[in-house]
A and B are shown apart, each in its own frame.
Chain A
Amino acid sequence: MSTASSSAEGRSTLDRVVIYGLLGLFAAFYLIPLFVMLVTSFKPMDEIQSGNMLALPRDPTIEPWMKAWGEACVGLTCAGIKGYFWNSTKMVVPAVAISTVLGALNGYVLTKWRFRGHKVVFGLMLFACFIPFQAVLLPMATILGSLGRFGNDLQDLIGTSLGFGNPTVNLVIVHVVYGLGFTTLFFRNYYEAFPTELVKAAQVDGASFFQIFWRIMLPNSAPIFVVTVIYQFTNIWNDFLFASAYAGSGDVMPMTVALNNVVNTSTGVVEYNVNMAAAIIAALPTLFVYVVAGRYFVRGLMAGAVKG
């Protein structure tokens, strides 16, 4: 696994210095906006208006964080953004799970169980990534509206709508549909490099379609799972267009819409410190996923599996 360090022992110290230097430099570049946001979130308003935005707070306060968490107004309800985590979570987790699993299966089929026209199918699914969401907003709303009416009929008929017409379910549907292209792309291109011999061998041993997927593909897919989950989680958590259009009312509103309502006010003094704190709070689940999922960012076990 070691690549740079083992080749020439004498150069290795220098190499290390250069590597760490570059990594540190880039880390600094990436951290600048976070630094700005953090220092701002701990400053009282008059200090923001008068001072330098890169300066450390002279008179640090956690007031903005308290306000963003429990007092900021989201529309007429002034209870902060804390209540919106659950709205987002119950929408994001199923949407990410379904689209990722489907993507993994699709990628598996498109690389290891090829059929005539598999390239066309893949090409069509891939090109689907490019449809502008603004263009699908209205036709999708029409379809979701019909699903909602179907749900109402079901409600009258059998006493439950089975989730049809529920804004959260609607968002799950939308995000699964428009996430499929990417998840399929990620897994397909990852499995492309996966040794087919392994699959063949298992086939000969009589393993079924799902057994191969479960026992051979999945255990070696950790890195691409991480990438896919990060991508889907981030995009769905941060989606504003669909969320505001299909689930804008206070009781089902996802975090992004709530955050936008706190931040994007057109009149009144803009409380930048509260906004920055709210933005960081709203991003915590995503950051948490990055750190936790990152643990699975390990090299695959293939070599071991092949060689026994």
Chain B
Amino acid sequence: MKSIVKVFAGALLASTVMTGASLAQTKEVQMLHWWTSGGEAAALNVLKQDLAKEGYGWKDVPVAGGGGDAAMTALKAMVAAGNYPTASQMLGYTVLDYAEAGVMGDLTETAKKEGWDKVVPAPLQKFSVYKGKWVAAPVNVHSVNWLWINKAVMDKIGGTEPKTFDDFVALLDKAKKAGVIPLALGGQSWQEATMFDSIVLSTGGADFYKKAFNDLDEASLKSDTMKKAFDNLGKLKAYVDPNYSGRDWNLATAMVIKGDALVQVMGDWAKGEFVAAKKAPGTDFLCYRFPGTDGTVIYNSDMFGMFNVPADRRAAQAALATATLSKSFQSAFNVVKGSVPARTDVPDTAFDACGKKGIADLKSASEKNTLFGSLAQGYGAPPAVANAYKDVVTKFVHDQIKTSDEAVKQLVKAIADAK
């Protein structure tokens, strides 16, 4: 017993002599993010080095988990305590929430100097500009409506690129007959809803998607088109393997990589998995737009929200923002991440075939006004609505909601409730 007491006493002493808070570093950016996997960290290191060249240090605050949930919880606590980070990785409506609460900084001066207004697509500016002030620097644009196909399996079953939803079902049938799992799906609500985003776009077209999932127009939400979209989701469900429930998205991607499954419907971050497995587009795997959605892009985007830090830390913040939107970083980062640059004037030379298509698609969608926020990924509506939507989709997929009529009814109710 005595010895335990001694250890305790020593520890107590050690803790009380510790020095207090270190002085806020003015030549340093404090960065909260959830990019902790090897590839992401490597990509972010480019930014760190760019800043080091300008003489700014990097204080890393990485909090992984739940696709940013844990980091956002930490951010809320930091803001409540009054310790704002220089910048934080953020998504869509969260940026606007924090801006409304008056804790975001002002990047307008930097933005003007760098001409961001002209090169960042307008739908993105809706989230990075609040009441005329730039509050966030977009890092990338992910797009959601992609098919990822194993080429060897595709050749074996003699399939071709599906152009319509019915083509797609026919293709899945072929795979089923050939004895491969047709559709690799991870049965988690966000993956199911991400796939449903594409189905709705394919079923109802661009205008319908915008009305239903960006404007939350009730007539569209309860229309027969939405019911048909649920029916289509029901059709696709017949092509998944029995163990899909709860599977992580990257395991579903691995099924396609290994040739156990033909296709996965997933955002372009899936490409990172193929690349990490040393697979090349065109020879090992194919990237097609979800059938019937060519010309339209459902996007989400990672942004670095910039906080209202004391005046002596603003120079570092501005340097971070400039470096983030520099063409070199946008190219280097997005090549690794699988996404495309958030500014439309970055040369596509460093990108592979899928990346080149993604850049071209983003540019044309931006010009034709067919670039829409993904509801499943938090760019279609605030989190309360987006999660209510995911609830309905996942309950439909897992047979808790049994008919598409019921699903439409539940969707309308859940969204009205959450608004």
Contacts from A to B (Cβ < 8 Å): 49, 73-78, 90, 93-94, 97-98, 100-101, 137-139, 141-142, 144-145, 148-149, 151-152, 154-155, 160-166, 168-169, 172, 218-219, 222, 225, 240-241, 244-246, 248-251, 257, 260-270, 296
Contact = CB atoms under 8 A, between A and B. Distances in A.
B418 interface: no
Contacts of B67: 266
Contact of B37 (A98, A164, A265): A265
A93 to B, nearest CB: 4
Interface residues of B, number: 58
A268 B273 contact: yes
Residue of B21, B64, B250, B254 with highest tally of chain A CB at under 10 A: B21
B81 A148 contact: yes
B47 to A, nearest CB: 9
A138 B8 contact: no
Nearest to A164: B20
Given A141-B81, A268-B272, 9 more contacts: A90-B11, A149-B82, A151-B21, A218-B1, A244-B65, A261-B36, A265-B37, A266-B250, A267-B337
A49 B82 CA distance: 45
Interface in B211-265: 248, 250, 254, 258
B77 A138 contact: yes
The 3 A-B pairs with the shortest beta carbon distances in the complex, nearest first, are: A161-B20, A75-B62, A145-B81
Contacts of B41: 73, 75-76, 78
A267 B59 contact: no
Contacts of A225: 1, 4
B390 to A, nearest CB: 17
Contacts of B258: 49
Contact of B64 (A97, A100, A149, A266): A266
A141 B78 contact: yes
9 contacts: A73-B37, A75-B41, A98-B12, A154-B20, A172-B15, A219-B1, A248-B78, A251-B59, A264-B66
A296 B38 CA distance: 44
Contacts of A168: 15, 18
A93 B80 contact: no
Contacts of A155: 20-21
B36 A73 contact: yes
Given A138-B77, A264-B64, A169 B18 contact: yes
Given A73-B41, A261-B63, A266 B34 contact: yes
B252 to A, nearest CB: 13
